Structure 1
Amino acid sequence: MRNNRAEHRPNDEVDLIEIIQGLWLQKWLILTIVALFTLVGGVYAFLSQPVYEAKAFILPPTQKDIADLNYGRTNESELTPYSVKYVYDVFLRNLQAESLRRNFFREYYLPSLTEAERAGSRDGLYQRFSGDLSIRLADKISPDRFLLVMQSNDPAKAEEWAKAYVEKARLLAVREMVENVNREAEVRARNLARQISTLRENGEQVREDLVTQLREALRIAEAVGLEKPPIISGNLSGEVSANMSGELTYIRGSKAIQAEIKNIEERKLDDPFIKNLRALQMKYSFYKDLSVSPDDVAVFRIDGPIDAPDKPVKPKKALVLVVAVLLGGVIGIFVALFRTLYRRNDVLRSVGDRQ
C-alpha cells in the first residue's frame, strides 16, 4: 500500500521543469497577451489628452511689505502691530478657503466646458476641478513655503488660471486686512471723539462752578468792603497770595473778582483751558484721517514667475508602456500557467480512470 502511494506521489506533485516546458509551449499565447496590453497602453499614451501643470511657489511677505498696515500701530496707541506671520496666515486662509475654490469653479471652470460637459453632475465636475487644483507645502524644510498647482489640457489656460487664483486670494486677503485696519482706526477715532466731547462738557461745568464760586467770593468782598487785595508784608504776604482761592478768594478784592467773572462769562471757547484736550485732538485727527491703500500692501511673495508649462505631466508615455508590458507579461504567464495545470490535471484524471 505504501508502494502505491510512493508511485502516485510523483505524478500528483507539480514538476517545475514540466511547468517551464508548458509555459514555453504557450509562448505565443503569452506574447499575444503582452502585445495586446502593449497596444492598449500605447493607444492610451498617445491618444489621451496631455495634462499640463502650472506652478506657483508662495512665500511670506517681508516686514516692508506690511509697513503701511502698521502705520500708527504702537504700544502707546494701544493698537498691536501686525506681524508678518499674522498677515501671511490671513492670505493662506483665503487661498485655501472653500468659498474661493467654489467661486473660481463657477467663474472660470464651468464657462470653459462645453454644453455636453456641463450637462453632467455638478458635484462630479467640482470633484474633477478639485483634482486639477492642489495647494500644499512645497517641502518639509520650509514650513512657510507653499505650492499651488493648476492642471489643464491647455498650457496657456493652466498658467492663466494659476495666476488668477493667486490674485483672487490676494485681493481677498488685502481687503480683509485693510478693512481691519480702517475699522480699528475708525473705532479708535470714535472713542477719542467721545473723550473730547466729555472733556468739553466737563469744561463747561467747571466754568459754571467757577463762576458760582467767584460770585460767592464777590458777595463776601463787597460785604467787608474789600475792593482791592490788602497789602501784607513779610512771609505772611506770600502765604496769603498763594492761597487766594477757595475760601480766601474774596481777598482778591471785589474789582478783581468782578473782572474775572466778566471775562469767564464772555469766554467763547473753553478748549485752551481744558487739560489734555489738545493731545486727544491730535490723536483724533490722526486716526480720523488714517486710511490704508490696498495698492501699498503685499500679503505674500511669489518665488519665481508663473510660466506656461511646455511639457505635459500626464500621460507619461514611457512609464505607461513599461507598465503595460509588465502587466501583460504577468497576466500572460498566469493564463499560460493556469492552462498548463488544467491540462495536467486532465491527464492525471484520464490515467486514473484507465487504471
Structure 2
Amino acid sequence: MTEKSLKNDEIDLIELITILWKKKLWIMLSSFIFTAIAGVYAFTAKEQWTSSAEVIAPRTMDLGDYFSVRKEYSRILGSEFDAGATASNLFSQFNLLSESLDERRKFFVQSDFYKKKVEGKSETEKAQILSELISKHITIKKPDSKKEPDLIGNKISFYAETPADAQNVLSQFISTINQSAYQIELDNFLLYFNELVTDLNYEKTKFERDLSIHKSVQLENLENALRIAKEAGITEYAKSLGITNGQSTMQQALTMSEAKIPLSDSKLSDSTYLFMLGEKYLKAQIDVLKDSSIVYPPRYYQVSSLLSELEPLLIKAKQAKANAFSYQASPDYPVVKDKPKKGLILVIGFIVGLILSILIILLGSFIRTIQDKY
C-alpha cells in the first residue's frame, strides 16, 4: 500500500470520527431512547421463576402401611412378597402419569393456580393458558450421564411468575401424581384380594349348603324309615333278624349275611331298607342327628381360618397409604429468576441504540458524499 493511500485512509477515518463526534448528541439520545425502551420491557415483562425436584424409586420405608399389608397377605397365603418389584412398579406408574398430558390437564383444571390465572378470560384464552401450562411450564428430564452426570433420578421442573407459586404448584403436582399412581397400584391389588375373599366365601357357603342339605335328606330318610318300622312292628334290629319257623333256609341265610357285613355296604344303608334297623335304633339315630352339629371336612376349616385372617386385612388394605416415589431433592425455592435479566436487557438496549444510530449517521454521510460528487 502506497504512502498516499495510507494517508487517504487516515483522512477518511478521521473524517468519520469527526462526523460521529459532531452527531454525538444524536448518538447519545438514540442510545438513551433504546435503553429506555429496553428498560420498560425489562421492568414490565412477566418474570419467570423455575422450581425443580429430583425423584427416585421409593424405598421400603416409603411404602408405609402398604408394605405391612402386602407382607401379611403373602404370609397368610404362604407366598413370597417382593418389596423391590412393588417399589419399581409404583415408580414406573408415577413416571407414566407425570408425563401424561391428561393427568396434567386434570391437575391444573382443579388447581387454584389455574383458576386464578383464568379469571375474567374468554374460553379461547383459558384453553391457551391451559395448553401452555400442560406442555411448556412443566418439564421432565431423565438421567443423562453426559449432560448432567450428577442427576440420579428424574428431574421435574415447573416455572411461574413468582418463586412461591413455582415451588407450591410443583409440590402439589408431584403430590397429586403420587396419590394417583398409588391408587392404581392399590386398586389392582384390591381387585385380586376381593376376588380371593369372594371365592373363599363361596367355597365356605357351598360346604355349609351341601352338608346342610345332606343332613336334611338323611334326617328325612330316617324319619320315614321309623314310620315304616312302627307300622311293621320292628322294634329292634336284633329281633328283626330272629329266625321264625316260617322262614326258609335261604331266607335265614340272607338275613344272617346282612347282619355280618358292614352297614355301609349292606342293603340297610339304602333308604328303602332303613326300616329294618328297627324302631329303637332309628329313633336313637334321629335324636343324635338332630342334636349334633354338622361335621365339616378339613378344607372347610382351612377356608374359615383364611377368611378370619384375610377379611380384617382387606379393611386394613383399603386404608393403607404409600408413596410411589422418594425425593432425592424436594422442590426448591428459586432464588434466581430465569427472565427477564434486567441488567443484560439494558446493556443490549444501549448497544443496539448506539450501533443503530452510528450506522444511520454513517449511511447519511455516505449518501451526501455520493450526491456531492454527482
TM-score band by shorter chain is: 0.5 to 0.7
**Does structure 1 residue 90 correspond to structure 2 residue 93?**
yes
Give the partner amino acid of 2:165: K
- Partner residue, 1:302: 327
1:61 paired residue among 58, 68, 73 = 58
Work out the CA distance in 2 between the residues paired with 1:123 and 1:22.
59
**Does structure 1 residue 44 correspond to structure 2 residue 41?**
yes
Q: CA deviation at 1:61?
A: 1.1
- Partner residue, 1:316: 341
**Does structure 1 residue 287 correspond to structure 2 residue 310?**
yes
Q: CA deviation at 1:143?
A: 8.5
Of stretches 17-26 and 160-169 in structure 1, the one that deviates more from structure 2 is 17-26
Alignment check: 8 A CA contact 1:38 1:325 kept: yes
Give the partner amino acid of 2:331: I
**Does structure 1 residue 192 correspond to structure 2 residue 195?**
no
Give the partner amino acid of 1:265: L
**Does structure 1 residue 276 correspond to structure 2 residue 336?**
no
Work out the CA distance in 2 between the residues paired with 1:117 and 1:312.
27
> Does the C-alpha gap of structure 1 residues 323 and 343 become closer, same or farther in structure 2, counting only changes over 3 Å?
same
The 5 Å alignment of 1:201-350 reads 201-204=209-212, 224-225=254-255, 244=262, 246-247=264-265, 261-262=285-286, 265-266=289-290, 268-270=292-294, 272-289=295-312, 290-291=314-315, 292=317, 294=319, 296-324=321-349, 350=374
Alignment check: 8 A CA contact 1:54 1:306 kept: yes
Structure 2 residue matching 1:197: 3-state secondary structure: helix
- Root-mean-square deviation over aligned CA pairs: 4.9
Q: CA deviation at 1:194?
A: 1.2
> Does the C-alpha gap of structure 1 residues 116 and 211 become closer, same or farther in structure 2, counting only changes over 3 Å?
closer
What's the CA shift string for 1:64-99, capped at 9, x where partnerless?
333145244439578986621211223334434424
What's the CA shift string for 1:230-249, capped at 9, x where partnerless?
6xxxxxxxxx8xxx475369
Q: CA deviation at 1:36?
A: 4.4
Of stretches 137-146 and 280-289 in structure 1, the one that deviates more from structure 2 is 137-146
Alignment check: 8 A CA contact 1:68 1:296 kept: no
Alignment check: 8 A CA contact 1:227 1:254 kept: no
Of stretches 32-41 and 257-266 in structure 1, the one that deviates more from structure 2 is 257-266
Give the partner amino acid of 1:277: Y
Structure 2 residue matching 1:311: 3-state secondary structure: coil
What is the count of residue pairs matched by the alignment?
Answer: 319
- Partner residue, 1:74: 74
Alignment check: 8 A CA contact 1:186 1:287 kept: no
The 5 Å alignment of 1:15-30 reads 25=19
> Does the C-alpha gap of structure 1 residues 45 and 158 become closer, same or farther in structure 2, counting only changes over 3 Å?
same
- Partner residue, 2:112: 108
Of stretches 302-311 and 55-64 in structure 1, the one that deviates more from structure 2 is 302-311
Alignment check: 8 A CA contact 1:54 1:162 kept: yes
Work out the CA distance in 1 between the residues paired with 2:165 and 2:187.
32
Structure 2 residue matching 1:64: 3-state secondary structure: helix
**Does structure 1 residue 136 correspond to structure 2 residue 140?**
yes
Structure 2 residue matching 1:296: 3-state secondary structure: coil
Alignment check: 8 A CA contact 1:26 1:336 kept: yes
Alignment check: 8 A CA contact 1:174 1:294 kept: no
Q: TM-score, normalised by structure 2?
A: 0.63
Q: Percent identity?
A: 13
Q: CA deviation at 1:131?
A: 6.2
More helix by percentage: 2
> Does the C-alpha gap of structure 1 residues 267 and 274 become closer, same or farther in structure 2, counting only changes over 3 Å?
farther
- Partner residue, 1:171: 179
Structure 1 residue matching 2:61: 3-state secondary structure: coil
What's the CA shift string for 1:273-332, capped at 9, x where partnerless?
324111112222333222325563222222344343333222123443454456556756
Q: CA deviation at 1:134?
A: 0.8
Work out the CA distance in 2 between the residues paired with 1:23 and 1:269.
120
Of stretches 300-309 and 74-83 in structure 1, the one that deviates more from structure 2 is 74-83
Work out the CA distance in 2 between the residues paired with 1:22 and 1:184.
91
Give the partner amino acid of 2:305: M
Q: TM-score, normalised by structure 1?
A: 0.66
> Does the C-alpha gap of structure 1 residues 131 and 179 become closer, same or farther in structure 2, counting only changes over 3 Å?
closer
Q: CA deviation at 1:262?
A: 3.9
- Partner residue, 2:159: 151
Structure 2: 5+ residue runs without aligned partners?
1-7, 242-253, 270-275
What's the CA shift string for 1:155-197, capped at 9, x where partnerless?
3333332222222223333333333333432221111111222
Work out the CA distance in 2 between the residues paired with 1:73 and 1:16.
93
